[in-house]
Structure 1
Amino acid sequence: MKRNHLVLLALLLSASGFCQNKKESSGKAFSTDGKKITVYTTADSINLRLTQTDNLAFKPAKQPLETEISVFVNPNKTFQSFMGIGGAITDASAEIFAKLSKEKQQEFLNAYYDKEKGIGYSLLRTTIHSSDFASGSYTYIKEGDKDLKSFSIDHDKKYRIPMIKSAIKAAGGKLPLYASPWSPPAFMKDNKDMLKGGKLLPEYYQSWANYYTKFINAYEKEGMPIWGITIQNEPMAVQKWESCIFTAEEERDFLKNFLGPTMAKNGYADKKIVVWDHNRDLMFQRANMIYSDPEASKYAWGMGFHWYETWAGGEPMYENVAKVYEAYPDKKLMFTEGCVESFDAKKYQFWANGERYGASMIHDFNNGTVAWTDWNILLDQNGGPNHVGNFCFAPIHGNTSTGELIYTPSYYYIGHFSKFIRPEAKRVSTVVSRSQLLSTSFLNTDGQMVTVVMNKSDKKVTYNLFIDMNKTVVEIPAHGIQTLVY
Structure 2
Amino acid sequence: MRPIRSLTRLSRATRFLLAGVVAAATLAATSGTAEAVNEPVNVWLTTTSDSAGRNVTRGLAQQTALRFGPAGGTAQHTINIDENTTYQQFEGGGASITDTTAYLLRGGPISAATRDTVMQKLFSPTAGIGLSFVRNPIGASDLSRPGNVSLDDTCCNLNDFGANGYDTNVRLLTGQAKQLNPALRVKGVPWSSPGWMKDNGRMDQMGWLKWEYYPMYAQYLVKYIQSYQAAGIPVNYISVQNEPNCCQASNPTAMNYPGMSWNPSGLVEFTKNHVYPAFRAAGITTKVLVHDWNYGDYANFGSAVLADSGVRNDPLFGGIAWHGYFGDPAVGTQVHNQYPTVKQFSTEHSGGTWISNQHNEDLADIVNYARNWSSSLVKWSLALNQNMGPHNGGCGTCTGLITVQEGGSRAGQVDYTIEYYTTGHLTKFVKPGAYRIASTANSTVQNVAWRNPDGSKALIAHNGGTSTQSVRVNWGSQSFVYTLPARTTATFTW
Q: TM-score, normalised by structure 1?
A: 0.87
Q: Tell me the percent identity.
A: 25
Q: 2: distance between equivalents of 1:153 and 1:384?
A: 26
Residue of structure 1 in register with 2:313 after alignment = 298
Q: Which amino acid in the other structure matches residue 395 of structure 1? A: L
Indicate yes or no: 2:231 matched with 1:222.
yes
Give the drift of 1:140: 2.2
1: distance between equivalents of 2:306 and 2:325? 23
Alignment-derived partner of residue 150 in structure 2: 139
2:439 matches 1:430: yes
Deviations 1:429-450 (A, max 9, x none): 1113x42111000001111110
List structure 1 segments (4+ residues) > 3 angstroms apart after TM superposition.
Answer: 284-288
SS at match of 2:64: strand
Aligned counterparts of 1:271 and 1:134: Cα–Cα separation in 2: 25
Counterpart in the other structure of 2:45: 41
Distance in 2, matches of 1:158 and 1:423, equals 27
CA shift, 1:77, in A, is: 0.2
Which amino acid in structure 2 is aligned with residue 50 of structure 1?
Answer: L
The question of 1:244 aligning with 2:224 is answered no
Aligned residue number for residue 328 of structure 2: 317
1:75 matched residue in structure 2 = 83
2:221 counterpart (181, 191, 212): 212
Match of 1:379 among 381, 384, 396: 384
What amino acid maps onto 1:458 in structure 2?
Answer: T
Q: CA RMSD in A?
A: 2.3
Equivalent in 264, 271, 277 of residue 261 of structure 1:
277
* 1:85 shift after superposition: 0.8
Change (3 A) 1:174 1:31: closer
Using the TM superposition, give the Cα deviation of residue 280 of structure 1 relative to its aligned residue in structure 2, in angstroms. 1.0
What is the aligned counterpart of 1:58 among 68, 74, 80? 68
Tell me which of 20, 35, 39 is aligned to 1:32: 35
Q: Do the aligned residues in 2 keep the contact of 1:124 with 1:176 (CA within 8 Å)?
A: yes
Q: 1:93 aligns with which of 90, 101, 104?
A: 101
Which range is displaced more, 234-243 or 448-457?
234-243
Cα distance in 2, alignment partners of residues 322 and 284 from structure 1: 14
Deviation at 1:82, TM superposition (A): 0.9
SS of equivalent residue, structure 2 residue 399:
coil
Task: Find 1:200's aligned residue among 209, 217, 225.
Answer: 209
The aligned residue for residue 338 of structure 1 is 349
Q: Does the CA contact (< 8 Å) of 1:304 and 1:336 recur in 2?
A: yes
Is this contact kept in 1: 2:133–2:184, CA < 8 A?
yes
Distance 2:203 2:376 in 1: 29
Q: Contact (CA 8 Å) 1:354, 1:411: kept in 2 or not? A: no
Per-residue deviation, 1:181:
0.4
CA distance in structure 1 between the aligned counterparts of 2:373 and 2:265, rounded to whole angstroms: 25
1:278 aligns with 2:284: no
1:351, 1:409 within 8 Å by CA — same for their partners in 2?
Answer: no
Conserved? CA contact 1:228–1:271, under 8 Å: yes
Identify the residue that residue 369 of structure 1 maps to in structure 2.
374
Q: What's 1:162 paired with?
A: 172
Q: For 1:279 and 1:245, how far apart are their aligned partners in 2?
A: 16
Q: Distance in 2 between matches of 1:114 and 1:49?
A: 17
CA distance in 2, matches of 1:443, 1:153: 45
Do the aligned partners of residues 389 and 319 (structure 1) sit closer, same or farther apart at CA in structure 2, a change above 3 Å counting? closer
Decide which moves more: 41-50 or 241-250. Answer: 41-50
Q: For the structure 1 residues 29 and 139, does the alpha-carbon distance in structure 2 shift closer, same or farther, using more than 3 Å as the test?
A: closer
Question: Aligned residue for 1:17?
Answer: none
Pairing 1:108–2:108 present: no
5+ long unaligned stretches in structure 2: 1-25, 50-55, 249-254
Residue 369 of structure 1 deviates from its aligned partner by 0.8
Could you tell me whether the CA contact under 8 Å between 1:75 and 1:429 is conserved in 2?
yes
Q: Say if 1:236 and 1:278, in contact at 8 Å, map to a contact too.
A: no
Given that 1:30 and 1:447 are in contact with CA atoms closer than 8 Å, whether structure 2 keeps it comes out as no
Change (3 A) 1:76 1:153: farther
Deviation at 1:386, TM superposition (A): 1.0
- Match of 2:136, SS state, is strand
Tell me: CA distance 1:142–1:445, structure 2 relative to 1, closer, same or farther (3 Å).
closer
Return the alpha-carbon distance in structure 1 between the equivalents of residues 167 and 153 of structure 2: 17
The one of 129, 138, 146 aligned to 2:139: 129
Contact 2:386/2:406 (CA < 8 Å) preserved in 1?
yes
- Name 2:467's counterpart in structure 1: 459
Which 5+ residue runs of structure 1 have no aligned equivalent?
1-22, 310-315, 344-349
Q: Secondary structure at the match of 2:121?
A: helix
Q: Which amino acid aligns with 1:364?
A: Y
In structure 2, relative to structure 1, the CA distance for the partners of 1:284 and 1:33 (3 Å cut) is farther
| Structure 2: distance between partners of 1:157 and 1:320 | 34
User: What is the CA–CA distance in structure 2 between the aligned matches of 1:289 and 1:27, rounded to whole Å?
Assistant: 43
